[in-house]
A and B are shown apart, each in its own frame.
Chain A
Amino acid sequence: MTPDRIRSEVSAWLDANWRVDRPLIEWREILLDGGWAAPHWPEEWYGRGFTLDQTAVVAEVFRERDVVPAAQVGPRGLASETILACGSDDQKRRFLRPILTGEHTWCQLFSEPGSGSDLAGLSTRAEMKDGKWIINGQKVWNTSAHHADFGLLVARTDWDVPKHQGISYFLLDMRQAGVEARPLRQMNGHQSFNEVFMTNAVVAPEDLIGGEGNGWHVAKTTLSFERRGFSRRVRGSSLDGPKQGPIYGEYEEELRIATEPYTWYPQREGRVDLVLPRARETGAINDPATRQEIAKLICLHTGARLASDSAEASRKAGTTEIIPAGSIGKLAASVIARQASHVHTMISGADAMLSGPDSAADGIIAEVLVSVPAISIAGGTDEIQRNIISERVLGMPKGYRADQGPFRDIKRNA
């Protein structure tokens, strides 16, 4: 279908159906039935089998007309894409629709206190008893788990096979007595994540996804969507400026809850944008040592952006082999954030001891200084990225491993 044709079809459909006075979920039911909630999905599952470019046309029309899109922010997007890719028809029927309408929220239950970088070393236990899966164990770094209806859970079902082979993937009902989510306070004071404790939590057999022992494969599918950052989804109204109509209030509240855990993320990246304004404001711009460090930061920041543009361009042109550009970009982001934090410290001097409303940039700089340490850990530590780069880009040999053979025999955290 040509872009013009898509544009006229979606516009005609919106003329007939889009109204700002409908309740949020009711509107999304109509959106799903109309086939415009996830146009890149297959036709049998609420979509139209659109390409990336075709989906972008739909998104453009939604944005222009300030249309509220299907629910997609946060971990629920991971859930819907994972279920679509790996779930049974029954699971797709039961779970996809309430995700897209926003009725159900989800969380991801992957990391554990005992397995961070080594996710496949997880030891949450799932045992089949009386026809049900019984879950025991603890998860950590679970965004939105305190209000989620369901969780994407990986747990060990077989302890006598190598570690990747004994994992299964479950769709866990969070609203049950055996599941408790506790907020986790970070060093920067925010509570963006939870710890989740499962004590004899129950999963029905039909909520195992991808088959028993196949959980690592399904988990990699989820992680690949996480890394890709949902580039294909339809973004709708930006909610910038005043919007007239009750549906925007509901949508805004949904977004506020979903995006609240991410408010400090710009600080985690070092706030490079504040460096020159702060340096001018304080006069540090005239200090030769600070100027050197600012210049280094500008080189890193500009060079990393150019390198990423050029990797993107060659991927599009299909001229070079696929490289794990994500790992290089992620490592670059850490280096940039650390240098930015270093420069902010030089600029602030003794004022860097203060935080809160009386401190520089209304506390933002203080938040930078205590948030940057997270960027080189979250989503894969710098050390793991360096392993990936050295092994997959540079072809350096893998190190010797002490985690082969049955999982039961592998040394792990107590």
Chain B
Amino acid sequence: MQTEFSKEQDLLRDVVARALRDKSPATAVRESMATDRGYDPAVWQELCGDAGLAGVHVPEVHGGAGGGAVELGIVAEEMGRRLFCGPWFASAVMAGTALVEAASDSDRDELLPGVAGGSTIATLVLDDLNAPAGVGGSITSTEDGKLSGTATMVLDAHVADLLLVVASGAGGLELHAVEGGASGLAVESLQVVDPTRKLSRVVFTDVPGRRVGEVTGDTLNRIWDRICSALAHEMIGGAQHLFETTVNYTKERFQFGRPIGSFQALKHRCADLLLEIEIARALTHHSARCLDAGAGEPHAASMAKAAAADAYMSAARAGIQLRGGIGFTWENDAHLWFKRAKGSEVLFGTPAIHRERMMTMLEGAA
């Protein structure tokens, strides 16, 4: 399998990296995270409406750029590097992937162009964010398409025009489309550890939904893998950024008459961290290539999610520890990445859950 990016993919990365450097500096992250909405609609319009970043992985017939998991990963990595605040992950990655993988042709025709073009903000409602096996335990749908139940945590539901809901129907899991503001829908913003990613509790009481497709176990796992691969990319971008700024800090901070980066205790920790990030990055990029090729290890996405989460947390812990006292202040930016790392570590399965998922794929259940 390929281990390199194409020229076009490198170009995509350059363009996205430049846009995010301009549009998502730490000052903008702090402004957005302090608002209830959580993002700047003008920036959303530029990045997703004009530049098409919500549709990189959506087929061209549905208004996207026709890329795959690799292109989606490139955007996710650059977004993660800058802690981009906005419903891109919920709308493009989660809802977009669910529509591509599970919706009927006519529903895709109707719903995907808005999501791909950024004019519709969508989210995917799952009543379990730990493992695919738990999904469908709470939200049920009736014969005539009425949804009831609770999703305890939904990304960016507070700003969603469209909610795609995985619910238990008579014959198994189904994907339903629900309009934001539908009757019987209650969206309640939650207090979160990571203020750059907004979460809501969503309660359905006989909410009118439209069944847009069925979700078999295979389909749910495929959606889960694609989301996890994109999330791993986001984490690798964040880990890399935090790592670079931390190493730079050790070169500039003087104690005992010398830069603290000249002490082996710090140098060796940074060398170990580089190795951990390099390995996680390789697994992450590999997971996207496996998804696009429909080949390689079936557990590639779980390897990526587990390794990237551990590497991001290592980078986050070092990012604070190596800065010393200032690293623990609100004023310093390190905590912003630390909190994103912590949130991403547990979203869509902790590393331990993914390691068990890998082993089950390799060897069967314990």
Contact = CB atoms under 8 A, between A and B. Distances in A.
A307 B278 contact: yes
6 contacts: A303-B303, A307-B281, A309-B3, A328-B278, A389-B274, A396-B262
B192 interface: no
B21 interface: no
A202 interface: no
B271 A331 contact: yes
Contact of A292 (B4, B270, B352): B352
Interface in A296-326: 296, 298-300, 302-304, 306-307, 309-310, 313-314, 317
A386 B283 contact: no
A294 B359 contact: yes
A62 to B, nearest CB: 30
B61 interface: no
B115 to A, nearest CB: 32
Contact of A298 (B3, B259, B358): B358
A307 B282 contact: yes
A397 interface: yes
A296 B366 contact: no
A403 interface: no
Contact of A296 (B274, B282, B355, B362): B355
A295 B355 contact: yes
A241 interface: no
A288 interface: yes
B282 A394 contact: no
B4 A299 contact: no
B274 A304 contact: no
Interface of B: 3-4, 247, 250-251, 258-259, 261-264, 266-268, 270-272, 274-275, 278-283, 285-286, 297, 303, 306-307, 352, 355-356, 358-359, 362-363, 366
Contact of B264 (A291, A300, A399): A399
Nearest to B268: A386
Contacts, number: 126
Given A299-B306, A307-B279, A396 B3 contact: no
B267 A313 contact: no
A306 B3 contact: yes
Contact of B307 (A292, A303, A397, A399): A303
Interface string A375-390: 0000000010111011
B286 to A, nearest CB: 5
A307 B274 CA distance: 12
B173 to A, nearest CB: 27
Nearest to A280: B363
Contacts of A302: 283, 286, 297, 303
Contacts of B281: 307
A131 interface: no
Contact of A291 (B270, B297, B359): B359
A280 B364 CA distance: 11
Which residue, A291, A317, A389, A396, has most C-beta atoms of chain B within 10 A? A396
Contacts of B251: 395-397
Contacts of B356: 288, 291-292, 295
A386 B358 CA distance: 31
A287 B365 CA distance: 10
B267 A306 contact: no
A409 interface: no
B318 to A, nearest CB: 12
A14 interface: no
A299 B264 CA distance: 27
Contacts of B355: 291-292, 295-296, 299
Nearest to B297: A302
A295 B300 CA distance: 12
Nearest to B250: A396
Contacts of A335: 275
A299 B283 contact: yes
Contacts of A292: 352, 355-356
Smallest CB-CB A-B distances: 3 pairs: A303-B279, A295-B355, A390-B267
A231 interface: no
A292 B281 CA distance: 20
Nearest to A383: B268
Given A298-B362, A303-B280, A386-B268, 17 more contacts: A286-B366, A291-B355, A291-B356, A291-B359, A292-B352, A295-B355, A299-B306, A302-B283, A310-B4, A310-B282, A313-B3, A328-B275, A387-B268, A390-B261, A394-B247, A394-B267, A395-B247
A391 interface: yes
Contacts of A332: 275, 279
A299 B303 contact: yes
Contacts of A390: 261, 267-268, 270-271
B247 A396 contact: yes
A296 B310 CA distance: 10
A398 B352 CA distance: 38
Contact of A295 (B258, B282, B358): B358
A374 interface: no
B283 A400 contact: no
Contacts of B268: 383, 386-387, 390
A25 interface: no
A2 B270 CA distance: 47
A386 B271 contact: yes
Given A295-B306, A394-B270, A399 B3 contact: no
Given A286-B366, A313-B3, A390-B271, A295 B262 contact: no
B270 A396 contact: yes
A276 interface: yes
A332 B281 CA distance: 14
A391 B261 CA distance: 9
Contacts of A99: none
Contacts of A291: 355-356, 359, 363, 366
Contact of A306 (B258, B271, B283, B362): B283
Contact of A397 (B3, B262, B303, B352): B262
Contact of B279 (A299, A387, A393): A299
A255 interface: no
